[in-house]
Amino acid sequence: MSVGLQVSPEWWVAGPYQWRLSLVRTSGGCRWSVPVEAAAGPYQWRLPLVRTSGGCRWSVPVEADAGPYQWRLTLPALPQVMKTCRMMGIQTVAVHSDVDASAVHVKMADQAVCVGPAPTNQSYLNMDAIMEAVRSTGAQAVHPGYGFLSENKEFARRLVRRACLCPGYPVMIKASAGGGGKGMRIAWNEEETRDGFRFSTQEAASSFGDSRLLIEKFIDNPRHIEIQVLADKHGNALWLNERECSIQRRNQKVVEEAPSTFLDADTRRAMGEQAVQLAQAVQYSSAGTVEFLVDSHKNFYFLEMNTRLQVEHPITELITGLDLVQQMIRVAKGYPLLHKQEDIPINGWAIESRVYAEDPYKSFGLPSIGRLSQYQEPLNLSNVRVDSGISEGSDISIYYDPMISKLVTYGATRAEALSKMEDALDNYVIRGVTHNIPLLREIITHPRFISGDISTNFLPEVYPDGFNGHQLTAGGQRELLASAAALHVSAQLRAISSLGLPPSLCVCPSPFFPCLPPSACVCPSPSLPQVEVGGESLVVSGEWDLASPLLPLKINNTPRMLQVLQGLQLLFKVRVLSPLAAELSSFMPEKVPEDTSSILRSPMPGSVVAVSVKPGDTVAEGQEICVIEAMKMQNSMTAAKTGKVKSVHCKAGETVGEGDLLVELE
């Protein structure tokens, strides 16, 4: 008895295992076996697919010994990719060897490109030929299939450089082992993809010791909403409601709240149930977070799962009453969960502000370093929680994350929690480093945030030209002058009380307030100084404890909190002068601002990772000059104009301070 056999296109199986491969068919009581060559090692093995000349199909079982288990591998059909694309309205291009010109996947495709002769190293493993097919057809995405180059890192890198890993721009490039916004970039074109890949790879390696990246479709203008899950070792899992984390800068969260103003009960339940299903599918046990992007129609898309305790976990604890750290310890010990899903409440509202040692006036927050010369948390207020790992005298260095603390407030309603947060930020004293409290306060008091109209683009949309600080109204400006004048008079009264009352003083506004009247006149009294500003009289009262960093005042009986500082990093600058000094100050020459178009200074303290130019080079506007790394974030420094490099004042590996000169142009 004889049977004719025909070999069809080959599959390749890769892996560092010892394979036992055979093709088997039973027909008419006969068992046919076609052994296939196999060996051990990280090689690719050829597995022919065999059929009879009569047109009957053969089954293709593949068995492999890998350790103590036996694995069975089924080989999926590539035409399924074509079917799915056709269903989605996506045109397809098939690549094939010359002997596969009539293969099923070629016939199903809208276009086909031959990438070489039959040997796989000249066709299906020929990266140059496949990349040329991508280029010539204008393909925007590449499905890697199930073998050949599907797990080849070099092929993946070349696709990234070609910007073909994901279906169209924009794409998100991020560290696979990362978090906290590090190693994360958004790319809108091929050039940004190249730069993003370079920076993300370096940041990922520096921050996590793992340079591997993920590239995924970026959803424009979404909300970032995450679900807290809790699972034990007995198959029980809960979702502990959501956290709204859409207020971000550089893809790192700044303000979070729980619950979200956006979700309805049905969407919350759907997201929670899917998060629990995911945790159970991977047999996860502990506290974890499943993150989603949510569009304006409440469609939600899985982003990632963080298998750890999140920075923002306190807001979940406050609205549920659960101690997540305690729950994690119980689960790790092997105890079952104490609660059922119906036991998980939403009680009240909680908000968290991340307090960073950053300059919010530079790209919404570039790192600041220094020693905390004075530090006072607002724990005197009710329903305020501060999680921090620093104290007065602590050093903030360039080597680690710039977070100072997590400031959390709670209220029965969102309005109450926001009011508490405003008070807490006003009562937070941080001296010695620049911090982001001015930005945090502006966010939580902004009408868009209060109304819940937010997305991950909130900051660039609200402050398209960058954050410039709080803009005082005319009434606010008068209150500021009145407070400064009354404070100065009170200090003088205390210093020279034995000599009698001083004369009226002039308070001169800084150039930030050109619309203000030229002076404020103070009629001092022991308890209620009366200040006249622009014809309006304001009564300023307070304890005037000049030894305290906080001065609670009342201006026309309205409570105000004042912090008096000295130095360059001030929110508002006011000079208090005598009438004669105020008159003479008008003759003082003003300092001419430095021309920054021909020089490049470091906007932050950090280390120089790379210098891309040398003296004599011609650079174009926007061209990268050097890269500065601070607190594990890399920042590309670019030329402000086209010109020739005059001198370079830094080199790779050096540490630079804020304001240090890096490069000069002619």
Cα(206)–Cα(23) distance, rounded to whole angstroms?
Answer: 48
Beta strands 93-97 and 111-116, pairing class = parallel
Angle between helices 313-320 and 324-333 (to 10 degrees): 90
Contact indicator for 553, 542 with CB cutoff of 8 Å: yes
Dihedral sign (CA 185, 186, 191, 194): positive
Query: From residue 403, how far is each of 356, 357, 548 by CA, in Å?
Result: 4, 6, 25
| DSSP at 594 | P
Alpha-carbon gap, residue 659 to 646, rounded angstroms: 18
Residue tagged active-site, from 304, 392, 416, 664? 304
Query: In degrees rounded to 5, what are phi and psi of residue 391?
Result: -150, 175
Listed in sequence order, the residues at least 6 apart from 208 whose beta carbon sits closer than 8 Å to its beta carbon are: 175, 177, 178, 182, 183
- The conformation of residue 259, written as its DSSP 8-state character, comes to S
E strand or H helix at 291, and its extent?
Answer: strand 286-294
As to burial, measured by CB atoms within 10 angstroms (0-12 exposed, 13-18 middle, 19+ buried), residue 267 is: middle
> Cα separations (Å) of 30 from 26, 41, 60, 443?
5, 34, 17, 77
Q: Are 285 and 331 in contact (CB under 8 A)?
A: yes
Q: What's the token pair of residue 529?
A: 């100084």
Q: Judge contact between 46 and 36, C-beta under 8 A.
A: yes
Three-state SS for 244?
strand
DSSP state of 335: P
Among the listed residues 99, 114, 106, 107, the one whose alpha carbon sits nearest the alpha carbon of residue 9: 99
Cis peptide bond N-terminal to 222, omega within 30: no
Q: How far apart are CA 18 and CA 121, in angstroms?
A: 23
Side-chain half-sphere of 42: how many Cα atoms within 13 Å? 2
72, β-bridge pairs: 63
- How far apart CA 449 and CA 292 sit, in angstroms, is 20
Q: Could you confirm whether 304 is annotated as catalytic?
A: yes
Decide if 253 contacts 245 (C-beta within 8 A). yes
Q: Name the nearest CA neighbour of 631 among 663, 604, 610, 652.
A: 604
Residues annotated as catalytic are 304
